Amino acid sequence: MRVLMFGWEFPPHIAGGLGTACYGMTRGLARNGVEVTFVVPHAYGDEDQRFTHVLNASDVEAVYGATESGADDILEKMSFIHIDSNMVPYISPEEYETYHEQYVKTGQKVWSTTDAWKQRYTFSGKYGANLMEEVARYAVVAAQVAKDLEGQFDVIHAHDWLTYYAGIAAKRVSGKPLVVHMHATEYDRSGENVNTQVYAIERAGMHAADRVMAVSNLTRNIVITKYGVPAERVVTVHNAVRFAENSGAAPERGVDDKIVTFLGRITYQKGPDYFVEAAAKVLKRVPNVRFVMAGSGDMMNHVIRRVARLGIADRFHFTGFLRGEDVHKMFQLSDVYVMPSVSEPFGISPLEAMRSNVPVIISKQSGVAEVLDYAVKVDYWDVDALADAIYGLVKYPALARMFSTKGLEEVTNLKWNDAAAKIKRVYEEVIEESQKPSNN
């Protein structure tokens, strides 16, 4: 079985959980005998006039520097296509417009985002003037890719709204069935203030698809109730976690205090302010705890001011945006990991924490809560319950030990192979359905 997959980030150049999930998923699929052609946007800038770049998996691995021993057999089953585009992960149409305006005004091509993400984006005149135009342009190129690859794939799989038009276009050109994957809905990103254009694309993608895969039952419900997709066409496929073979020696601890960590984008969706309020409550009772907020985002300055005002800045630390080895190091230094997300379709980071033997506290409003037993679950808004849970894990070693050992066992059993097998069955269903003569 061969699948044409549209994604928008891939490790290690990732800004969030989607790239990590795609990586685990494609490897799992390869293990299940599925060949994947992975299409991602990649900004080549003005110098390069080609629209697409076909890369061998080995080239990509070299580019991304993520080769691991024993992965060769899997890589043989994958190939990569870069579509020249400046679509970037987690960008909103408004942000895109700002960057483009700046480009037109100043001709400046390389832009760091305004917040402390410190990521650089390349802009070029040959790209669309706004994100919606760019999404449409991307779809046109995707249609060409689908045509060029005619006969080389059986099913199309698109991840999140930026690539839905591409998925639809590929389906029209090739007549192959389309599966779309909901990692995060517009409701998760923006609360009730949804961007209607984004909503419309999400809706169009899901209605055009033969199946919608949701990363949790939570997301599946949103898809059914808010987007009106018939329930029988929506399947939940929970994410899993990849086990790194050698996790490396634990870094030497500098401080003796217990460390409670928040790691993620500091945005409304992730509930950073609840973490701060709970920290202040805990610090009133136990002095020897430190809180770390790792990450960056549009709420970072607000959170820093709040920490200062609460008078806990000597025990509440900020690391800025972490990547690669530093993320791993942060997990290893932690005694408790907290994910107080207001809305989290899945939430892969608690699994990574558990893999490092760290007990986790997650909000009941996260998809990952559906697959974990050995995690403390609280309502995101219940600061007292969150403070209680932190206090318990910090003060009672037996409790922390139970959560970390049982948690490790639990997370070890969440394998991408199993998730991929489920995805493969969905592929098989839609292929079978598409080959049956239509009844309506």
Partner 1 sequence: MKTVCLYFQVHQPWRLKKYRFFNMGKDHNYLDDLLNRSVMQKVARQCYLPMNALLLKLIKENKGKFRCSFSITGTAVEQFRAFAPEVLDSFKELAATGCVEFLGETYSHSLAALASKEDFTEQVKLHTAMLKKEFGVKPTAFRNTELIYSDEIGAMVASMGFRTMLAEGARHILGWKSPNYVYANAIDQKLRLLLRNYKLSDDIAFRFSNQGWDQWPLTADKYVSWLASDQTPGEVINLFMDYETFGEHQTADTGIFEFMRALPQAILSKSGELEFATVSEAAKKHQPVSVLHCPHVMSWADEERDVTAWLGNELQNEAFSKLYAQKEKVKALKSTDFDYVWSFLQTSDHFYYMATKWLSDGDVHSYFNPYDSAYDAFINYMNVLSDFIIELDKAVAAKGAKAAKAK
Residues that bind partner 1 (CB under 8 A): 251-256, 292, 300-301, 304-305, 307-309, 311, 313-315, 317-320, 326, 329, 333
CB of 253 to partner 1, least distance (A): 7
According to DSSP, the residues that pair with 79 across neighbouring strands are 37, 56
160, 182 in Cβ contact below 8 A?
Answer: yes
Q: Which is nearer to partner 1, 29 or 292 (CB)?
A: 292
Q: Report the C-alpha gap between 362 and 383 in whole angstroms.
A: 12
CB 430 within 8 A of CB 233: no
Smallest gap from Cβ 146 to partner 1, in A, equals 44
Nearer to partner 1, 228 or 248 (CB): 248
| Closest separation in Å from C-beta 301 to partner 1 | 5
Which C-beta is closer to partner 1: that of 67 or that of 114? 114
Q: How far apart are CA 80 and CA 55, in angstroms?
A: 5
Task: Return the number of the residue (290 or 424) whose C-beta is nearest partner 1.
Answer: 290
The CB-of-296 to partner 1 minimum distance in angstroms stands at 10
Q: How far is the CB of 314 from partner 1 (least distance, A)?
A: 5
Q: Of the two residues 225 and 301, which places its CB atom closer to partner 1 in the complex?
A: 301
In angstroms, the CA 276 to CA 292 distance is 10
Distance CA 264, CA 346 (A): 13
In the complex, minimum distance from the CB of residue 261 to partner 1, in angstroms, rounded to a whole number: 10
Looking at beta carbons only, is 319 or 417 nearer to partner 1?
A: 319
Nearer to partner 1, 100 or 315 (CB): 315
- Closest contact distance (angstroms) between CB of 319 and partner 1 is 5
